[in-house]
Structure 1
Amino acid sequence: MSLQNKEQKLKHLFDGGAWNVYAPDILNLGVGAPGTDLLEPCCDLFQQASAHCLNREKDDNQSLIFQYGPTSGTFEVRHQLAQYFTQMYGSPVNSEDLIITTGATQGLHFVLSTLIDFNGFIFVDEFTYMIALDSMKHFTTLQIVPLKLNDDGVDLKDLEAKVSERRFKSNSKEFWAMYYTIPTYHNPTGILFSPDVCRGIVKLARKFDFLVLCDDVYNILNYIEKPLHSRLLSYDARTDEDFAGNVISNGSFSKIIGPGVRLGWLEVPPLLKLQLDRSGIIMSGGCFNNYTAGIVASLFELQLAQTHIASVYEAYKERMLTTTAILKAELPEGCQFSAPRGGYFIWIKLPEELDAGEFMEYTLKHEKITFIAGPRFAIETGKGKQYFRISIAFHSKEKLEDGTKRLCSALKSFMAITADVKL
Structure 2
Amino acid sequence: MSQNSEDRKLKHLFDGGAWNVYEPDILNLGVGAPGTDLLASNCDNFRKATDHCLQRELRDNQSLIFQYGPTSGAYEVRHEIATYFSEMYGSPVKSEDLMITTGATQGLHLLLSTVVDFQGFIFVDEYTYMIALDSMKHFTSLTIVPVKLNDDGVDLKDLEEQVAKRRFDSKTKEFWGIYYTIPTYHNPTGILFSPEICRGIVQLARKYDFLVVCDDVYTILHYGEKPKHSRLMSYDDRSDPNFAGHVVSNGSFSKILGPGVRVGWLEVPPRIKPILDGSGFANSGGCFNNYTAGIVGSLFELRLAQKQIARFYEAYKERMLATTQVLRNELPEGCKLVSPTGGYFIWVRLPDPLDAREFLKYSLEHHKIYFIAGPRFSLDGETGKQFFRLSIAFYPKDKLVDGARRLCHALRDYIKDVS
Q: What TM-score, normalized to structure 2?
A: 0.99
Q: What's the CA shift for 1:20?
A: 1.1
CA distance in 1, matches of 2:228, 2:242: 22
Instruction: Report whether the alignment pairs 1:320 with 2:320.
Output: yes
Counterparts of 1:353 and 1:9, CA distance in 2: 43
1:249 has 2:249 as partner: yes
- 1:389-400 aligned within 5 A: 389-400=389-400
Counterpart AA for 1:223: Y
Distance in 2 (CA, whole Å) between partners of 1:271 and 1:381 is 35
Amino acid at match of 1:96: E
Q: 1:16-415 residue pairs with structure 2 within 5 A? A: 16-415=16-415
Distance in 2 (CA, whole Å) between partners of 1:54 and 1:33 is 29
AA in 2 matched with 1:385? K
Identity %: 71
Amino acid at match of 1:222: H
C-alpha distance in structure 1 between counterparts of 2:293 and 2:116, whole Å: 27
Instruction: Give distance in 1, aligned partners of 2:379 and 2:415.
Output: 27
2:117 aligned counterpart, secondary structure: strand
SS where residue 270 of structure 1 aligns?
A: coil
Q: CA deviation at 1:366?
A: 1.3
- Structure 1 position 25, deviation (Å): 1.3
Supply the AA of the counterpart residue of 2:261: V
* Pairing 1:4–2:9 present: no
CA distance in 1 between counterparts of 2:381 and 2:218 reads 28
Q: Deviations over 1:133-156 (max 9, x none)?
A: 000000000000000000000000
What amino acid is the match of 1:257? L
TM-superposed CA distance for 1:226, in Å, is: 1.0
Count of aligned positions: 419
Any stretches of 5+ residues in structure 2 without a counterpart? none
Distance 1:383 1:21 in 2: 27
Aligned equivalents of 1:193 and 1:96: distance in 2?
A: 27
| Cα shift readout 1:393-422 (whole Å, capped 9, x = no counterpart) | 000101001000000011111111111xxx
Q: Aligned partner of 1:112: which letter?
A: L
- 3-state SS, counterpart of residue 99 of structure 2: strand
Partners in 1 of 2:201 and 2:173 — Cα distance? 21
What's the CA shift string for 1:328-348, capped at 9, x where partnerless? 100111000100000000000
Shift of 1:382: 1.3
Q: Secondary structure at the match of 1:84?
A: helix
1:147-187: CA deviation from partner (whole Å, max 9, x where unpaired): 00000000000000000000011000000000000000000
How many Å separate the matches in 1 of 2:389 and 2:381?
A: 17
What CA distance in whole angstroms lies between the structure 1 residues aligned with 2:80 and 2:342?
A: 24
Structure 1 residue 381 displacement after superposition: 3.8
| CA–CA distance in structure 2, aligned partners of residues 73 and 141 of structure 1 | 31
CA distance in 1, matches of 2:326, 2:296: 37
Q: Which amino acid aligns with 1:270?
A: P
- What is the distance in 1 between the residues matched to 2:19 and 2:276? 36
Q: Structure 1, residues 374-400: CA drift from partner, whole Å, max 9, x if none? A: 000000241000100000000010100
Q: CA deviation at 1:79?
A: 0.4
Deviation at 1:24, TM superposition (A): 1.1
- Cα distance in 1 for residues equivalent to 2:381 and 2:190: 22
**1:30-71 deviation per Cα after TM superposition (whole angstroms, max 9, x unaligned):** 000001000000000000000000000001110000000000
RMSD between aligned residues:
0.6
The residue identity in structure 1 corresponding to 2:262 is R
Give the gaps of 5 or more residues in structure 1: none
SS at match of 1:271: coil
| Secondary structure, counterpart of 2:100 in structure 1 | strand
SS of 2:272's equivalent in the other structure is helix
2:184 touches 2:230 (CA, 8 Å); kept in 1? Answer: yes
Q: Which runs of structure 1 show a deviation greater than 6 angstroms over 4 or more consecutive aligned residues?
A: none
- Residue 365 and residue 240 in structure 1: after superposition, are their counterparts in 2 closer, same or farther (change >3 A)? same
Task: Determine if contact 2:19/2:26 at 8 Å carries over to the other structure.
Answer: no
Deviation at 1:294, TM superposition (A): 0.3
1:304-335 residue CA offsets vs partner (Å, 9 max, x unmatched): 00001001100000000000000110011100
Question: How many Å separate the matches in 1 of 2:302 and 2:228?
Answer: 30
Supply the AA of the counterpart residue of 2:372.
I
Q: Which amino acid aligns with 1:304?
A: L
CA-to-aligned-CA distance 1:279-320 (integer Å, 9 cap, x gap): 111011100000000000000000000001001100000000
Give the 3-state SS of the residue equivalent to 1:123 in structure 2.
strand
